[in-house]
Structure 1
Amino acid sequence: MTITPLPTAREMRALDVRTIEEIGVPGIALMENAGNGAARALRQTYGPMRGRRVVIFCGPGNNGGDGLVIARHLHQEGGRPEVVLLADPDRLSGDAATNLAVVRRLPIPLHVALDEEAVSRAAAPLNTAHCLVDALFGTGLARPVAGRFAAAVEAVNRAGRPILAVDIASGLDSDTGQILGTAVRADLTVTFGLAKPGHWLYPGREHTGRLKVVDIGIPPEVVADAHIAAGLLTRAWTAHALPLRPPAAHKGTCGHLLVLAGSTGKTGAALLTARGGLRIGSGLVSLCVPADLDPIFETALAEAMTIAVNACRGNLDQSGLEEIQAALAGKRAAVLGPGIGTAPPTAALAQRLYADADIPLVVDADACTILGREPKYLGQAKGPRILTPHPGEMSRLTGLGTKEIQADRLTVARD
C-alpha cells in the first residue's frame, strides 16, 4: 500500500491534461463523471432529492461546469435545482459552455448574477433551500475572492443550510489551505481524483467539512507516473506499514527504543515520549536521563527501563557522551530532544549525537532549536533522521518567520 498522493493544483492539472491528451479520455467525460459523482454524494449524504430545492452557485470555469452537470442530474431524478451563474453566459467556453447549453434547454431556473446586487437578489430565498452547492472556484484559484464572488460566498455561509463544495471550498488555496479573501465553509466537500493539500492543511481543513473523493476516470497509471511530492498518511496505510507480530513474538523481537529527553523541571517531556514509544509497539523502551533525576523515572513509568548517566546532573550534556554512546549500542532507534534544554553543554551533546548516531533518530523540540543555531550539522548525519518541529522550531531551523511558514507549510518543509 502506498501513501495517498496529495497533488498541488499544477500537479492535478497535469494529471487531467495527460488523461485527456495522451490517454484520450474526453474532457467533457471527466466533467460528467465529476458532476454525477457530486450529485450522488449529495443524495447519499442529504437523502433523496426528489421535490427538493437545491441552489447551485456556478463560477466562470470548469468548476462551474461541474455545477451545471450536478443541476442536470438533480433535475433528472426529480429534484428542483436552481443555478446562480456568476459569469457572462456568452463568455463561457469549452465543456462548461456545452453543459450550460444543455441546462438552458431544460426547465431549470437560471439566474445570471454579474454584480453584487444581482447576487443579493438571487440569494434572498436561500434559507428555504434543502441544501446549497458551491461550484464557484476550483483548485486553480490564485487570487483573493472579491466583488460579486465574495458576496456569493458570504451569502452561502449566512444561509444556514447544508453546503456541498465542488472539488474544494471556494476561496481556499488548494496547495496551502490558506483563505484567499473569504471562503465557503462547507459541510461536505466532494473532490475529484485525489484529495488536495488544502483539504488537510489548516485553516482549509475547517472549511472542508466531511471529505469525499470521487473517481472521475483518471487512470491509476497516470497517477503512479506523476511523482506527486506530498502525501497523506492514512489509518489504513499506517496499519499496513506496521509489521505483523508472529505468534512467538516477545519484547526482544520488537525493537528497543532509547529516549534521550528530560531535564530538571521537564521530566514530563521524557515520560510522555517514553509512553509514546510503548504505545506504538516498541518491545523495549529505555530512558537515558541525568543520574539525579533517575528516581523520578524509576517510579513514574514502570514499563520503561532507565539508564542513569552518572556524569550528568539536571541535564544531559557533553560530559555524559561516553555513557550515552554506550547506551545507544544495540538500540533500533532513538529519540533526541524533548525537554533537554538548550544550554551550550547540552547543545554540544545534541550536535554530536545528531551527526554520529548510525541508527534512526527522531529529532524533536529542543534538539530542533539547537540544530537551528548550527544548521551545518543537518547534512552531517550518519543515519536516518526524522525532524518533527513545530512552527516556532521550524522558524529557528529555516530562518523564516512563523507566519511565512504557516502560509505554506509544505513548500517550506520541501525546501
Structure 2
Amino acid sequence: MSRRGLLALCLLFAACKRTAPAPVTPDAGAPSVSAVGAPATPGPGAGDAPVMSPGDATHRVQPLAVCRTDGAAPLDAARRYFDEGRLEEALSCAAQAAALEPDLAAAHAERGVALAALGREAEAQLAYARALAIDPGDPDALLGSAHLYAVQLPSSRERDELGALYAERGLSQRGTPPELVPHLALVAAMAFNDLGQAEEALARAAIVLAREPGSREALYERALALFELCRFDEARAAFSGLLDDPERAAHGHQHLGLLLERQGKWRAAQVHFDKARQLAPEDFPAPPLPSVEEFRAEVARAVAALPEDMRGDLDGVPVSAEELPADGDLLANQPPLSPTILGLFRGPPLGEPCDGSEEPCRSVVLYRRNLARAVRTTEELREQIRVTLLHEIGHLRGEDDEELAARGLE
C-alpha cells in the first residue's frame, strides 16, 4: 500500500472521515453520550453476499474474473489494478496471489484493500484478520485494518479503539515503511479524537503535519483536538483556516459557532450554525432546542422517574440545568473536559468526605444546548436527558467513564 496509502482509499470512499456524527467526547467526571443513530444498512455489494436457500432459482454464483497479470506476479498486478481504480480486477489478482501463496500476509492484505474499497467490509475484515494472523506486523494490513475500523465502518467506541490499536502498532514498529507513517498517524488522530483523547490526537496530527504540512485532514483533526482541549484561541484560528475547504467548511462553521456561543455572541454564532446547516444539513440538523423552562421541566420529570434507590442517592444533591459548561468546570480537570459534555457531576462520590469548601459539596448539572445538539428529535432529547442523568448518578456512586461505557452508559 506504500504507493497509494490512505489518500487513495479516501478518494475511493469519497471522504476520509465518517459522515455520521462523532460521539460526544468523554470526560473524567461527566457523560459522553452521543445520539444513537439507526444502524447503517449496507448497500448492494456491501458485506457478505445475501444468503440464498438451496432451492432459490435466482441464486447464481458470481466467480471473480480470471486474473490477467500481463506477465507480472499476481500480487504486483493486483496493486497495479488498484492504482488504476480497477477494483474487481485488483481483487481477482489478489485472490490468485493468496491462493498461490496462502501464507503470504501481503496477499491477504491486498485482498482486504480491494474488498474494503468495494464496500465489502465483512470480507475485508476476514482478509485483514488472516494477514495479521500470519504476520502481526504487516504494515499494509495494519493500515488497512486501522482505516476500516476507525474511518470506513460506522463509528462506535469499540471500532475506534480497535482502529487506534492497529494504527499505533504500525507507528511503533521499526519495520513500518516511512511513507506509511503519516497515513497511520492520520488514522490514529481520527480515532483518538472520536474517543475523546484529544492530547493523543493532537500529537498524531503533528506527526502528519511535520511530513505533510498541507494535509487538510490533519489540519482538521488538529483543530478539533485544540477545541476539545479548550485551547479556544488556537482552535478559532485553525477552524477559520478551513472555511475555504469544501469538505470541511461546514465543520469549520459549526465549531466557530460553538466558540462564539461560549462568548455569549449568540447572533454571530447562529450565522455560523446556519451556514454549517446549509452546507451539510444531514450532519448539522436544526437541534430540538426547548425553552429554558421546558428543559428544566424535562429534567425534573427525568429525576422523578428514576428508581427509588437512585432518587435516594440524589437526596441533598441538587440537579440543575445550565446552558453550557463554564470554563472553570472544563479546566478543573487535566486534560480539560470537552466543551461538548452533556452533563457534569461535581464533588466526591458518595462515601467519600467533602472538603468543606462548598455547600452542597455534590451536584449534578445538565447542559441544555449541548444536549439538544446531540439529538435530532424531542423524543430523543428526553431519552438523552434520562441516559445522561443515569451516567451522572453512576459518577455519584463512584463509577468512572470506562465502567459506565461497559454498562452502555457512555
Asked if TM exceeds 0.5, the reply is no
Q: Higher relative CO (CA 8 A, sep ≥ 6), structure 1 or 2?
A: 2
Which of the two has greater helix per residue?
2
- What's the TM-score once normalised by structure 1's chain length? 0.29
Higher strand share: 1
